[in-house]
Amino acid sequence: MKLRLSVAAALVGALSGSAFAADLPSRKAPPVFVPPPPPLLWTGFYVGLNAGGTFDNNSSVNTVASPIYIHPGIRTASEVAAASAVSSWLSPSNGGFIGGGQVGYNYQLYTNFLVGIEADIQGIAQGSSGVNGANVAPTGSGGNFWAGFTQVNRSLDYLGTVRGRVGYLFTPSLLVYGTGGLAYGGVNFSTSIFDAGVRSGGGRFDSPAIYTGAASYSDTLVGWTAGGGVEWMFLPNWSAKLEYLYYDLGSVSNNFVAVRPSNTFANGVAGIAAVQSTTRFDGHVIRAGVNYHFNWAPPVPVVAKF
């Protein structure tokens, strides 16, 4: 009898303990928080405006003349001197204010790197200049000499680029980048010469003792560009940038002939000189700009689980 009571008491105690334990709150481990990746502030298309300055890297114009025809009745040394008088090295400087717009696309990587492409075009104010040069060359006959005058004009009217960009985000809103690609620009280049023989004690010149000639070039040149910059996202969708570019559009030559007419010889020509005038269009651009970013990238998924 006592044994039965002891067993019954043990069963009641066990059941009571189980019921009490069921009423206690359950304790689970806290959820693991996985931070989401940083927002892609830079991915998407953008458009903007820019303004700054440009200046030449090398604006020199090299003009060289040489006789290609000399009438038998003319002294060779005199015509060589005539060609020498218009050969010159002049430096009309091109530069001025530059301003325009750009459009591009960025793709931001989760590793803080960014790649993109940008196209821009700018007009240039005060991008043209001209210069005159004068030279004297003795003919080797008494005191006679040739006085040569050379005028050159060159201009860069507009400049555009299509470039790739690779950058690194030092902070989510601060980008430092390098850039390079194609450059193109509208250029004008003209050369004219006037060469006059001056008698000063030597024998007479065949009349008239004058060479004249001119040529011009106007076209769009294509070359390359490279540089870098820094861009700051100062407001949602808005960024400001400071950028440097070097561009090289290549060389241009004006080739023409200068003719010395004659009133004495039957063919009416005393001499012909070939003239080549060469310049290079390359330089530097420093500009600031502002961009509006459309941020058409899809939203970043939330991977934290609670």
Sequence spans of domains, the chain: 48-293
Tell me, what amino acid is at 54? T
Secondary structure (3-state) at 82: helix
Q: What angle do CA 249, 254, 256 make, to 5 degrees?
A: 165
Which residue blocks in the chain are alpha helix, DSSP H?
A: 2-23, 76-86
Distance, CA of 173 to CA of 108 (rounded, Å): 12
Longest dimension (CA), the chain: 162
Taking only the tens of pLDDT, the chain with its 306 residues reads 444 545 445 444 544 554 444 454 556 666 666 665 556 689 999 999 999 999 888 889 999 999 999 999 888 998 999 999 999 998 887 778 999 999 999 999 988 999 999 999 999 987 667 888 889 998 877 788 999 999 999 999 999 999 999 999 999 999 999 999 999 999 999 999 999 988 877 667 767 889 999 999 999 999 999 999 999 999 989 999 999 999 999 999 999 999 999 888 888 999 999 999 999 999 999 999 999 999 764 544 444 344
Write the burial class of residue 293 (CB in 10 Å: 0-12 exposed, 13-18 middle, 19+ buried).
Answer: buried
Within the chain, strands assigned E span 44-56, 61-70, 88-90, 95-108, 113-125, 128-138, 145-171, 174-198, 210-235, 238-261, 269-293
Tokens 């063919």, located at residue = 267
